[in-house]
Amino acid sequence: MSEKILFVDDEAPLLDSFRVMLRRRFDVYTALGPAQGLKALQGPETFAVIVSDLKMPSMDGITFLSRARELSPDSIRMMLTGFADVSVAMSAVNEGQVFRFLTKPCPQETITKALEAGLEQYRLVMAERQLLRGTLRGSVQLLTEALSLANPEAYGRANRIRTLCRRLAKAAEIPITWELDIAAMLSHIGCMALPRAVLDKIASGQDLSPSEQQLYDSHPTVGAGLLALIPRLEQVAEIVGHQHHRHDAGLGSAKLHQDKLHIARMLKIATDYDLLESRGMPPAEILQRMSADEGCHDPALLFALGQSLGQDPGYALRRVGVADLVDGMVLEEGIMSKQGLLLLSKGTEINASAIERMVKAAQSFAVVEPFAVRVPCPPGGC
């Protein structure tokens, strides 16, 4: 389907002339006035280029294009007016981020060239966005896979932390964003550099030596350094780097926006909760201990954690084999090879990637089967 162009003007004859003049070369839509223009942008159509008149009743073109940028940020915006005023042009460029400023009357050749340039710019923007999305998606998947292979225990912890963060965000009425999911899943990417013995001691509640503690404390910084190298993950890197900071330490608020600050604080709570839970401590005792350490955690988020734990969805325990794994299952115990190799750790939420990895692992290792999983109950109950 061809890219669509939206003309917005309060003069119906002028809109008709654009439609007739350009219909053979472009897919032209028109809106009579800014109200109809905003309604069109909120509809199902996606517009590559938006051309607005400057002088319109109830809302001028600069204000309209500023609103249009919020509703359709990828669209290329142009201003068409009979008032060739330099200050007006500057305002249009600054406030509406206008790509072209055209004056009326505008010859067909001039507006055709401007629209072609606008469409080309739109294609460049979309191509770059698609490239970044592909690069970002591939990079995150690569790092997640690397963590699961290099350190299944850390990968399992990251899965559990993501689940806790999502429940915590829901209870605290904080939007569950892509930054939250990625920051949680990659929160322990720096643990790839840690010896397995260190993580085993942490999980079992053993004391670390000073050198081991220093090594473990460095994993957020190591992880942040890795993530900062990936385009569009700079804020996620900051979140991961702050995941061990206490609430009363300020958490680098000068660098993190408020929404990212909440994610970092959620990571702190989820990580500390998971660590205590992995040592066999019951939820009520965990909350009591975390609350007793005043200043360590955000009080509002800690309260929301307690609320979220009371809303735990129902699960049924099952014992299954590799061939029985399906999306949504959660491992109640780690999947081990008969040689004692941990393949997937307790708490891992099964997805297509995990199933594929386990099927391949079963072809190379003798897997201890069956193993325990939690299966979400249907709406009617287990």
Between strands 335-336 and 47-53, the pairing is unpaired
**pLDDT value of position 253:** 45
Phi, psi of 99 (to 5 degrees): -80, -40
pLDDT per residue rounded down to tens, the chain (382 residues):
478 999 999 989 989 999 999 988 999 999 999 999 999 999 989 999 999 988 888 888 888 988 998 899 889 999 887 765 556 666 656 555 688 888 878 888 899 999 999 999 999 888 877 766 666 777 777 788 778 777 787 888 888 898 889 888 888 888 888 888 889 989 988 888 788 788 778 767 778 888 888 888 899 999 999 888 887 788 889 999 989 888 887 644 445 667 688 888 999 999 999 888 877 788 888 888 898 888 898 888 988 888 887 655 567 788 999 999 988 888 888 888 888 888 888 878 888 888 888 888 888 888 999 998 988 776 655 5
Domain layout of the chain by residue ranges: 4-128, 151-312, 314-382
Q: What is the CATH architecture of 314-382?
A: Alpha-Beta Complex (3.90)
**pLDDT value of position 90:** 60
Which CA distances in Å does 28 have to 49, 52, 89, 110?
Answer: 10, 13, 24, 16
Q: What angle do CA 224, 220, 209 make, to 5 degrees?
A: 150
Contacts of residue 374, defined as CB under 8 A and 6 or more positions apart, other chains included, come to 315, 316, 317, 318, 329, 330, 331, 332
Token pair recorded at residue 306: 């307690």
**pLDDT value of position 36:** 93
Phi, psi of 171 (to 5 degrees): -65, -35
Residue in the structure block whose two tokens are 């069109």:
40
**pLDDT value of position 250:** 63
CATH code of 151-312, in short, is 1.10.3210.10
4-128 and 314-382: identical CATH topology:
no
**pLDDT value of position 254:** 46
3-class secondary-structure state, position 25: coil
**pLDDT value of position 92:** 57
Is the pTM higher than 0.95? no
**May I ask the CATH class of domain 4-128?**
alpha beta
**pLDDT value of position 255:** 57
